[in-house]
Structure 1
Amino acid sequence: MLLFSIFLLPLIGALVLSLIRVDHKSIYLRFISLFFAVLPLLLSIVACVEFDYNNTDFQFVSYPIKNVVIGVDGISLLFLLLTTFLFVICILYNCKMSYTTLKSYMALFLLLESFVVGFFISLNAISFYVFFEAVLVPMFFIIGIWGGKHRVYATFKLFLYTLTGSLLFLLGLVYIHNVFGTFNIQKLAILMPSLDLGVQSLLWIAFFVSFAIKVPMFPFHTWLPDAHVQSPTSGSVILAGLLIKMGGYGFLRFSIPMLPQASLYFSNFVVVLSIIAVIYASLVAFAQDDIKKLIAYSSIAHMGIVTAGLFSFYEEGVLGAIFQMISHGLISAALFLCVGMLYTRTGTLEIAKYFGIANTIPKFGLMFILFSMASIGLPGTSGFIGEFLAMIGMFKSIRFVTGFIALGTILSAVYMLNLCKQVIWGVSYSKLLNNRLDSTEFSILILLAMFVILLGFYPTLALNYLKPCMANLLVKYNTL
């Protein structure tokens, strides 16, 4: 019941926070929020320690509710660890909020954490779908209440895009249950490859639209920049760090293992869309004058590398894609936190208004440069490992594709280096009155930097969990 405890604790925390009266027990709000965020992280670490990464099957499997099965393999375990870690970071960052705001804000974040955890541990297709959709509810309120000037437009765009795509996913699940009589993901991965190509293709398209919107892939990407710009800082951290990874994880759980013939048939189509996403998003990012939009478009470009790696169907490509999702979860979270720290000091997201930060907040300048370099794949950071492995897989699959992806990484270096040039150096910006990061802000950035560098120098920390999963994931493609 270890996994169920990790799922249940944030849910209990959200309930406790909702029952506390602010005027009487507001002093306990921060402690309660941290307690119900840190405890799932500690349990996730226990799961990593006890996990046998030489075993290719799902582990910690249990049935907390009749017909609902949960469990993790090496892939979902790393996403579980990333989830609990990023929510602790967000809770720490949000602790500076006023008590009246803190109560409802933290409750929604803990509720969101529970839904994301439920998504990554689900081995039942219906519970997978329920959590896939449920994350929209707390995110809708987080952006809609605490977002920017155009938050209502952004929230409805996010909601309508993802909901529309998910309806096709639901129709596909209804058909699958009608044919096979089960929603068990493990059983479906064995049964569904026997479907003929025509049926697989229809199901693949239904799944693809849903997951592609969530990633988001070109041309389904337009909701993401608006959502990021209007979202509060912690909302952007979770959106970029976790929620867009749910689409990639959907490909890993449904499209690739269950529909191998259709996945191969449509692989070139996915690769073409990925190339367009990498190059187009990089060019658009370079033209942005809003720092949040620039980082949002960089996320679209990085996820283009992920989808290209996944559909290379080579071990290195898939490993690189998964590693890139974990790495990007850390790096994008750090960049959005940096932007949030700037925004609280200046009240603007306009890039032209930032300059001379190295003179006023030197520690911040160092951290911002580090995460920017990690974003463009500097060797020694986690960003390099994921991109390098994904490119190896793409080179083995379709060689000329690697050149286009490499062009995208060059373009990403152009816009990120240009951003650093504008933001970090120059004459000091007079409105940056606070010339230091507070202890909480600096600790958060240092913690994220440690993991970005650690995974860059010692990627086997993650790859040891991922490699055994490749045998089960790609075995069907060895015979096709």
Structure 2
Amino acid sequence: MNLLLTALLALPLLGAAAAPLLRTNAANAHRLPALLGVAVTGALLAGALALAAGFDHDDPARMQAETDVSWIPALGVRLHLGVDGISLPLVVLTALLAFLCALHTLARPPEGPRTAPLVSLLLLLEAGTLATFAALDLVLFFLAFELVLVPMYFLIARWGGAGREAAAWRFVLYTVLGSVVMLLGLLLLGGAAGTFDMVALAEAHGDGIGRGTQILAVLAIALGLAVKTPMWPLHSWLPDAHTAAPTTGSVLLAGVLLKMGTYGLVRIAVPAAPEGMEVFAPYLGAFAVAGIVYGSLACLSLSRQGAGGDLKRLIAYSSVGHMGFVLLGIATLTRTGLNGALFANVAHGLITGLLFFLAGSLKERAGTLDLDRLAGSGGAALYARVPRLGALLAFAAVASLGLPGLAGFWGELLALLGAFDPDNALSRPAFLTYLAVAAFGTLLTAAYLLIVVRRVCTGSPAEAPGEPAPPGLRAHEYAAAVPLVALILLAGLWPAVLLDLTGPAVRDLLPGALR
């Protein structure tokens, strides 16, 4: 098990280095690198599933598959890796989405530069994301966190659509500035505790770290992580990045990269600086519900007739709202809320990944994602023209709005329940207000998603005489959709599959909690 986790981090790095070295000619310049990407990500998915199968599910709070060796002795920095019930689902989610993106790259050659650099960047991105979720040293966590910035920048800037360069620069500037602030907080926390080991910090629960130091550390760490989440009002880089990014970039950005911020709050800030979190939790909750309402109102504006809204941009704004529920759950500082946040993290990755794959398929057929053009005369009319694509889009939409029985329901419900009864150190009237505002946000979410489904999926096709009908779903589109649909149903109908993993681990993060 220990070597397996290490191999999961080393293999994508080796694949990323090998992809540009492949000898190709005009005939196989795309296929050979793309096949390498499928092979490497497939092996990583198999390894992640083996890691999950070998995981001791009777003790998910314990760090497993650990590797702990000295790296920089003078600074006390170690190569400390491991997974528990909090990080294991995110490791598997990352491996799955990266494999599906590699399949998409093989089936649909990217427009622009050669495929080999694209495959190399995808593998480097996967390596950084996996390392972020497996790192158990603050410095190692920061380095892995930063590793993903370079490949995502080039994915947007070189393979993106209109406005890609400006979107890529905005993404880098926001995240780098946030990372600088986060690094200061991590160094302050580790220096005050005398260790950078995240397991030791979590077990100490702030003992030996002064209240003022905890407050400063949480302020810096939370600001840095909030940019990546993204939390309103630090979200403005996200819509441009999603709109410009290629399909694979949007899937990985929404599916796993946004999770790194909220994961860091749960893994580092909550257990290591509890007094600092108590101070900032009410403000975090206020920003969370503001993001829920703001994201929903922005989506409503984009979905209305005549607004010229872009479907990918709408999905991006919806992520601001959905991640608001994750932040609200964390802000409650309760077991219920934290479990809801972790559940919503995984559910959002599955649902939004599916939505972006479907948006890419729709653009291939219609040539646009402009909602006015899709809904106009002779527009998409998916139920009539490509019924299975329309059915999948409707399914993803109702999953995103939190329909009971699908994955999106449980995370939001638990976050709201956590707000109903927050930690004793927090103001219950304030969190009841947050609960009411967030509940109103769920109504807005249902409104804009149903409007999008009605406008894009319904209507009568108006093909010109002799114009061929759009093709049905292709093999690679089934390959992307089927596992995501199955997991959305599994998590919705059997939430214990995730809650049994996160529950005991969250209990150890909050040993004094009674909920």
Is residue 408 of structure 2 the alignment partner of residue 383 of structure 1? Answer: yes
Identity within the alignment, %: 34
Is residue 319 of structure 2 the alignment partner of residue 299 of structure 1? Answer: yes
Contact 1:360 1:428 in 2 (8 A): yes
- Tell me the equivalent position of 1:15: 17
**Aligned CA distance change for structure 1 residues 244 and 212 (closer, same or farther; 3 Å):** same
Is residue 104 of structure 2 the alignment partner of residue 79 of structure 1? Answer: no
State which drifts further: 428-437 or 377-386.
Answer: 428-437
Equivalent of residue 44 in structure 2, options 40, 46, 49: 40
- Tell me the equivalent position of 2:74: none
- Tell me the equivalent position of 1:155: 168
- Tell me the equivalent position of 2:336: 316
- 1:143-222 correspondence to structure 2 within 5 Å: 143-191=156-204, 193-194=206-207, 195-222=209-236
Deviation at 1:175, TM superposition (A): 2.6
Distance of 1:429 and 1:325 partners within structure 2: 40
Deviation at 1:192, TM superposition (A): 6.1
Distance of 1:423 and 1:433 partners within structure 2: 16
Deviation at 1:352, TM superposition (A): 1.2
* Number of positions where the alignment pairs a residue of Structure 1 with one of Structure 2: 479
Equivalent of residue 223 in structure 1, options 209, 230, 237: 237
- Tell me the equivalent position of 2:385: 360
TM-score after normalising by structure 1: 0.96
Deviation at 1:173, TM superposition (A): 2.6
The amino acid that maps onto 2:448 is: Y
- Tell me the equivalent position of 1:243: 257
The amino acid that maps onto 1:453 is: L
Distance of 1:238 and 1:429 partners within structure 2: 35
- Tell me the equivalent position of 2:377: none
Root mean square deviation of aligned Cα? 1.8
Deviation at 1:473, TM superposition (A): 0.9
- Tell me the equivalent position of 1:408: 441
Distance of 1:81 and 1:334 partners within structure 2: 16
Equivalent of residue 434 in structure 1, options 470, 484, 487: 470
Distance of 2:469 and 2:10 partners within structure 1: 43
Higher helix share: 1
- Tell me the equivalent position of 1:31: 35
TM-score after normalising by structure 2: 0.90
Equivalent of residue 59 in structure 1, options 51, 55, 64: 64
* SS in structure 1 at match of 2:402: coil
Deviation at 1:429, TM superposition (A): 5.8
The amino acid that maps onto 2:344 is: Q
Contact 1:242 1:329 in 2 (8 A): yes
- Tell me the equivalent position of 2:452: 419
- Tell me the equivalent position of 1:253: 267
Equivalent of residue 504 in structure 2, options 465, 468, 474: 468
* SS in structure 2 at match of 1:54: coil
Equivalent of residue 483 in structure 2, options 447, 462, 473: 447
Distance of 1:177 and 1:282 partners within structure 2: 38
* SS in structure 1 at match of 2:65: strand
**Aligned CA distance change for structure 1 residues 238 and 172 (closer, same or farther; 3 Å):** same
Contact 1:260 1:477 in 2 (8 A): no
**Aligned CA distance change for structure 1 residues 34 and 141 (closer, same or farther; 3 Å):** same
- 1:67-106 correspondence to structure 2 within 5 Å: 67-98=78-109, 101-106=114-119
What do the CA deviations read for 1:141-198 (whole angstroms, capped 9, x no partner)? 0000011121111011110101101111111233334333321111222446122221
What do the CA deviations read for 1:68-110 (whole angstroms, capped 9, x no partner)? 1100111101100000000011111111244973222111101
The amino acid that maps onto 1:247 is: G
Is residue 364 of structure 2 the alignment partner of residue 344 of structure 1? Answer: yes
Distance of 2:211 and 2:193 partners within structure 1: 17
State which drifts further: 72-81 or 431-440.
Answer: 431-440
Deviation at 1:317, TM superposition (A): 1.2
State which drifts further: 125-134 or 345-354.
Answer: 345-354
Instruction: Extract unaligned runs of 5+ from structure 2.
Output: 72-77, 303-308, 375-379, 423-430
Is residue 297 of structure 2 the alignment partner of residue 283 of structure 1? Answer: yes
Contact 2:235 2:320 in 1 (8 A): yes
Deviation at 1:2, TM superposition (A): 1.1
Distance of 2:473 and 2:88 partners within structure 1: 33
